[in-house]
Structure 1
């Protein structure tokens, strides 16, 4: 797992109360398998799913904001107990502000991970904005932190664990499994 090496950034991650995830390119590798009947298949990584559960089990709410809409994302969010799911949202910063209004969290107490231009404003607005190594170059330039893993390959888990480590919770979590 890649650690947050910047102390000021670690302080900001320590204050996260809501972690927000893009789907395509973060929780999946961005591939869409389109079937002849018009339906699609998405694959999700179980490492990432446990990461979201670890956040929730430690009092950090989770949200998914995606520009597309699919029953697969709805099913995955429900199975993980995600607190907020907003689909078909091109303006992700506005969607994030709606979640903040509903949850009572400020943008500074949010973390957001995304990989493409529609995620950029949200990444810049939050206290801890992250991306993945194969993100659009502007996100790589503007994000506070970049995972070492790619989307759909454990990036969301790495993001979750970085937040948990900043909040001094990760060692206790690991100890539960030893």
Structure 2
């Protein structure tokens, strides 16, 4: 995939992309989220292979913050209503262009950002409008390996996947899931 060859930043919505989108709410608010370990390992591996990684989400969540820190995610942007402005600021700070950014989202609030980035992606169960906008649609649903598949696709397009896999064989990368 040609658009994947320039990617240096991998950004993700959280609910519906890194999770199934099911919100478990207790009396005190958000009680839990389910993340897929393979998505986590791929995010941590992307970070270790030199990619910048980001969560850009409309919700504020200690669970998301903890997960992001655990995986060494570079940017954990929560409570974001204008994802385009947040990404634009991030790109400027990092000296990156829109063409060097990939973003995976699943719902209508992700459309403005998906329309700007160099590589727009959706989980298999993203809403119709998001799938129509996407350059890449995962074979997997949100929270079930969609992020992993995008990360692999980008690394393979840049001929880095073998190096990433080999890093496990020789023990040079210790990655959290």
Return the TM-score normalized by structure 2: 0.91
Deviation at 1:143, TM superposition (A): 0.8
How far 1:118 sits from its partner (Å)? 1.0
- Match in the other structure for 1:43: 34
Confirm or deny that 1:172 pairs with 2:163. yes
* Structure 1 residue 71, shift from structure 2 partner: 0.4
1:42-77 deviations in Å (ceiling 9; x for gaps): 111110011111111111100110010010011111
Closer, same or farther: CA 141–50 of 1 in aligned 2, 3 Å = same
Unaligned runs of 5+ in 2: 170-177
Q: Which residue of 1 aligns with 2:73?
A: 82
1 CA distance for matches of 2:31 and 2:25?
4
> How far is 1:174 from its partner?
2.5
Q: For 1:125, what is the secondary structure of its paired residue?
A: coil
Total equivalences in the alignment: 169
Structure 1: how far apart are the matches of 2:110 and 2:28?
30
User: Within the alignment, does 1:118 sit opposite 2:109 as a pair?
Assistant: yes
Does the C-alpha gap of structure 1 residues 123 and 39 become closer, same or farther in structure 2, counting only changes over 3 Å? closer
Q: What is the CA–CA distance in structure 2 between the aligned matches of 1:128 and 1:104, rounded to whole Å? A: 17
**C-alpha RMSD of matched pairs (Å):** 1.2
Structure 1 residues 48-127: aligned runs within 5 Å: 48-127=39-118
- TM-score with structure 1 length normalisation? 0.91
